[in-house]
Amino acid sequence: MSQEAIQERARAVRMIVFDVDGVLTDGSLFFGDDGQEYKAFNSRDGHGIKMLRDAGVETGIITGRTSQVVLYRARNLGIVHLFQGADDKLEAFEQLLASVNLAPEQIAYMGDDVVDLPVLRRCGLAVCVPDAADEVKARCHYVTRANAGRGAAREVCELIMRAQGTWAAQMARYDR
């Protein structure tokens, strides 16, 4: 897909939804002896999500796993649209659509594995990371240069802000 077509899709985005494992994290799962699950998130990804939200784009998460750490991270980032334990991500996406009153074309989705394909096919801007499943990369409009959990979410947030002309206003807050 051409850069112009990607920019056009990014301009229409009013919400971005992220998968967690393999997108907001590098996909590694850490478990303590007590069964507690641990994940590592990237702080620049988090700040990019906050800047995008401040620029007027809503944010959400749809993940197949359920963990307290994802709930804590979502709260920390101001993400109120959170679907955990979503065995059927398309069903969760449809519930989200009904609750936010947006068209599918106004939503970007970022995934990495075949379970994300139904949503990637339905959303307006389909994004994945470089090490996503080949079937996912073939379906996505944009493949990030940065890896999962290492700036990929920030990259797509910046892409959307630049396309919508809000990046400069966000940067002005820090360029004093």
Asked if the structure places residue 91 within a domain, the reply is yes
Tell me the pLDDT band of 25, cut-offs 50, 70 and 90. Answer: very high
Q: What is the 3-state secondary structure (H, E, C) of the chain?
A: CCHHHHHHHHHCCCEEEECCCCCCCCCCCEECCCCCEECCCCHHHHHHHHHHHHCCCEEEEECCCCCHHHHHHHHHHCCCEEECCCCCHHHHHHHHHHHHCCCHHHEEEEECCHHHHHHHHHCCEEEECCCCCHHHHHHCCEECCCCCCCCHHHHHHHHHHHHHCCHHHHHHCCCC
Asked if the structure places residue 170 within a domain, the reply is no
Asked if the structure places residue 127 within a domain, the reply is yes
Give me the domain span that covers residue 138: 3-165
pLDDT value of residue 12: 98
Asked if the structure places residue 94 within a domain, the reply is yes
pLDDT value of residue 36: 86
Asked if the structure places residue 174 within a domain, the reply is no
Write the pLDDT tens digit of every residue in 26-85. 998 888 898 888 899 999 999 999 999 999 999 999 999 999 999 999 999 999 999 999
The CATH number of the domain holding residue 161 is 3.40.50.1000
Number of compact structural domains in the chain: 1
pLDDT value of residue 176: 76
